[in-house]
Amino acid sequence: MQATTNASLFQTSYSEALGVYRSRKAVHTSGISDPSTWGRYGHAIQLNPRFESAVVRDAAQLAEEGAGADGGPYRVLALRVTTHSDGAWIWTAEAGGVVRQLDAESAQQVQVFRGAKAPIPAFDFINTAKGELLVTGSWDRAIRVYSTKDAQLVAEVKDASADFIKAIHVFCSAGRTWIAAAGSDKSIMLYDATPLATRGQGGLKCVHKYAVHTRPINALGSLTALDGTTYLYSADSMGRIVESVVSTSLRLEPVREMTGFSTAVYSIHTNWRRVSEDTIGSADGWLGEVREDEDGERYRLAAQVWAASGDKSAASYMLSPSLQRSAPKATRTMPPVGTQPPLHQASRLEHADFVKTVLPIGALLPPSYPLADDLANAVVTAGADEHIHIHPDPSSPTRSAEGHWHEVTALAAWIRHPTSAPTAAQSLPEARGTEVWIVSAGLDGSVRRWNLAALVKVGKPELVAPKADSREAGQWDQNSLPPKPTKTLRNDSTMTAEEEAELAELMSDDE
């Protein structure tokens, strides 16, 4: 599955052990040998069309890559789920320089959007009167816009940034549609996409270069306040998150900074959540007046931003000044940017490893969903430890599920409805009613679909990865690896006695 190989390079025993672990986990969690495991490991979509021959029947080759064993060009860097009248699409942006459109039900490939000459770490959409447009940003520094009807290129800006583009975000403000592109050059390039949004065609004009960050920018997002003003959120590799607004002169201006992370922020997610009617605070642009739903329950709406970081945490910020906690003791020497006081973390979820993606699922649940009340404040996270973590609320025990055999890079929610005419190509159990699914993707080149109702009940992870800092006897022995599949894989060949002995010798080496 690799474009290049590490097999001929010197590798530490830990690296070799990690390669074997990932190889065996890839087979064990694939569901090819035993489809009944899909509920536990996620209903997998393998993006590599030769996955079975490249991994399942030749697992040793993947193992030889050691710590470099991954999904190769099929590594997923970004993920989205969109709905249509008959179901949903899953979109993946990949290291091979393509965006792939898949049918969420059948897992069948619909279209592939090509043209990039480097990995695509980010994409977004523009809705126009003539149809939907896909906007991509690539490490080749280009922005490309495609029609989602036929995957045809509509517009292209080849030198949209001075360095790798890592984040793309489409938002509306000041009566215009904007494309914000950011990345390794530490700046945000603001493009006026109004002609594309109104006519479905036309060029992109850069109107502003915004240089508020001092480190590469990893993520972008936006949220519209109750007064109609849209704010842009940008996060960088130093852990800074900046809230900005488009001014009357059509330039981005910093409003305030969000503090609390000690290193890189990889993703941000903005949303509105329901809070108690008794929540103390005056109504403002980020905290609404008391409302009443169809069941007579009274509540208020409050805006929040969630972020995932390399400091092994995910944290939320309440945007209303009246919901701010007292400021923690300052540990930074650099003064915050903006005209308003900085925001401090409202809640924080600690993890054992880097957190690469966060999804506050509670606000997305339909009111009729059976678990809507239990998971009203639920957050889903994932990252370098390969697991999917469900936090029912910041103070509740975390539930974790295993499935991916490499870092998880993206999460999305899918509200799944019963299909009127299930087809033979359907790869999921038939929906009995409205269901909520979590869709995950990672560097193993797979997309996995998880029924949330089953995910909250899944057993604890059992597959233990080798640890780099351990020198205990047996740390990298057979007990550290996934068990072998109990069923024979199709066209699979068993290891010879010589290969078994070689593997045992390798895994028992504790140096």
The answer to whether residue 153 sits within a structural domain is no
Gap between the Cα atoms of 62 and 49, Å rounded: 16
Instruction: Compare 1 and 204 and report the one with higher pLDDT.
Output: 204
Angle between helices 497-508 and 13-28 (to 10 degrees): 130
Dig out the tokens for 210 from the structure.
């915004």
Q: Judge whether residue 384 has pLDDT over 60.
A: yes
Q: What is the DSSP letter of 56?
A: I
User: Could you give the 3-state DSSP secondary structure of residue 54?
Assistant: helix
Q: Which of 112-126, 225-239, 481-495 has the lowest mean pLDDT?
A: 481-495
Q: Judge whether residue 381 has pLDDT over 60.
A: yes
Q: Judge whether residue 506 has pLDDT over 60.
A: no
Provide the domain count of the chain.
Answer: 1
Q: What pLDDT score was predicted for residue 480?
A: 47
What is the reported pTM? 0.88
Instruction: Compare 427 and 428 and report the one with higher pLDDT.
Output: 428
Q: Judge whether residue 474 has pLDDT over 60.
A: no
In degrees and rounded to multiples of 5, residue 28 shows phi and psi of: -65, -35
The answer to whether residue 57 sits within a structural domain is yes
Q: What pLDDT score was predicted for residue 467?
A: 73
Mean pLDDT for 220-226 is 98
Position of tokens 């400091």? Answer: 311
Burial of 488 (0-12, 13-18, 19+ CB in 10 A): exposed
Q: Binning pLDDT at 50, 70 and 90, where does residue 334 land? A: confident
Q: Binning pLDDT at 50, 70 and 90, where does residue 473 land? A: very low
Per DSSP (E only), the strands in 161-309 are 165-173, 176-183, 188-192, 205-210, 217-224, 230-236, 241-246, 252-258, 265-276, 291-292, 298-309
Instruction: Compare 262 and 202 and report the one with higher pLDDT.
Output: 262
Q: What pLDDT score was predicted for residue 469?
A: 62
Q: Judge whether residue 509 has pLDDT over 80.
A: no
The answer to whether residue 462 sits within a structural domain is yes
Q: What pLDDT score was predicted for residue 425?
A: 61
Q: Judge whether residue 72 has pLDDT over 60.
A: yes
Instruction: Compare 78 and 498 and report the one with higher pLDDT.
Output: 78
The answer to whether residue 509 sits within a structural domain is yes
The answer to whether residue 508 sits within a structural domain is yes
Mean pLDDT for 453-468 is 84
Tens-digit pLDDT profile for residues 79-119: 999 999 889 999 999 999 999 999 999 999 999 999 999 99
Alpha-carbon 144 to chain mean position: 21
Gap between the Cα atoms of 264 and 335, Å rounded: 18
Instruction: Compare 27 and 126 and report the one with higher pLDDT.
Output: 126
Q: What pLDDT score was predicted for residue 489?
A: 40
Q: Judge whether residue 203 has pLDDT over 60.
A: yes
Q: Binning pLDDT at 50, 70 and 90, where does residue 66 land? A: low
The answer to whether residue 238 sits within a structural domain is no
Q: Judge whether residue 399 has pLDDT over 60.
A: yes
Mean pLDDT for 201-211 is 91
Gap between the Cα atoms of 285 and 52, Å rounded: 52
Highest mean pLDDT among 45-54, 396-405, 456-465, 499-508: 396-405
Domain boundaries, position 46? 1-114+376-511
Q: What pLDDT score was predicted for residue 266?
A: 98
Mean pLDDT for 327-355 is 86
Q: Judge whether residue 374 has pLDDT over 50.
A: yes
The answer to whether residue 416 sits within a structural domain is yes
Q: Report whether 80 contacts 409 (CB < 8 A).
A: no
Q: Judge whether residue 475 has pLDDT over 70.
A: no
Buried b (16+ CB within 10 A) or exposed e, 188-215: bbbbbbbbbbeebebebebbbebebbee
Radius of gyration of the chain (CA): 23
The answer to whether residue 411 sits within a structural domain is yes
Tens-digit pLDDT profile for residues 146-185: 999 999 999 999 999 999 999 999 999 989 999 999 999 9
